[in-house]
Structure 1
């Protein structure tokens, strides 16, 4: 079977492609959602920006596969061999990767929200800026991996191997569970919680909807283009903060200090302002660069 034949069979309603063999075939931008590739040999195959949602790759060989920007939500990749695969920017939210081999893989800015990553081997993998919110990483091997700027809020890392892992500027919260004895601040990670001091830090582009930073010191923080949907910033010190282009829709800014804050292009639809006034829902963008709060 060649790639065109597989796509033709898929178009005719067939979904069982277990044990097929394709080496370095090109399936870029195709729709193969819910297809079953159990035990398939797919090393080096190009799935660039392909739709593979709810597909099954149980025990499949995907070594060196190109899955950049692919849609893989709720996909079964358990025990799959993804060593050296490119998953940068891929959406793996709610996917099952139990026991998968992801050594030396590229998962930069990938979405792994609520993914099952129990026992996954991430040794020497790149997870820079990856969103691991709510992911189950129990017993995962993250030794020598790069988790800098990763989002670890609500993630479960109990019994994970973090030896020589890079967690510089990774973000976590009070619900993140780390291995016993592990010290996140010492590793360079930042806690997102009420009353924290993040003065002058650079969190531009962060995706932290619903974050609770009540009473936090966020003076001069850089949160350009950050997603702060429904964030609790009540009582926070935002003096001189850069929130240009940020999504503050529904955020709570009651009692916050917004002296000299940059809100150019920010979405304040439905946000509660420091004086208690709810920002108009229809007026989404702030034209002024700075607000002088008296």
Structure 2
């Protein structure tokens, strides 16, 4: 197919629904990723909250889906705004996440994604497998991954050897400061890419820390995504680890220190549901659709969810 997913034998999209579902589940099990080394929100937040009431129809729902593994993820390169594609494993991961959403019976009214291929491909796979290719899709640069500046394209181990482990950890894991800026004559500077021609040059980042990424992402969250939620829509957001972290920081009131420790697993759907009108309630309950062994549990503790605000 045009999605290029390689699950030998031929990809699920050409199979019957039942056979395809079984094949994706087998592929996901075969390609299960190891547990993240750093703490997750599961370990950081242990709030005493009520479980999600599945029997109560939600007023509005949003699903966050981080893209699957990219070619630069596989090569351990700083990616940021570099427009690389998914690996075969990344496409399989996206197919697995889509299958989980299909099993959950999620029907989307609208979808949002970034301008980067790896997120767009993940969304395409998700909508294809769930049979929702007619869902309106909005692409916006504010959902792009964090801009890694002068680190873009560098091997992570070589970067540590050049700058030192402490400095690289500061750039990668602190809320600020940003890495060194990218040169505007670099092949990776977004200003040289026509798809950003509509953005004022002064708005195109030369480098970003997590704080910068949060500040870039939230205006689009407020103006576009929240607008759909306040109308009671079911929304899918296929984006990146740091742009999703920025939104979750706002939703859950996570501190500057704790947000740097939050891990967003690849292609594992995270669902938030508002049980009353968003404008008056302002609170949601969030959970991961599944709890894969060795990867991640509920977003915050065993009670079953995370509170969020819009």
Give the TM-score taking structure 2 as reference length: 0.24
Bigger fraction of residues in strand: 2
Higher relative contact order (CA 8 A, sep 6+): 2
Between Structure 1 and Structure 2, whose CA radius of gyration is higher?
A: 1
TM-score (norm 1): 0.25
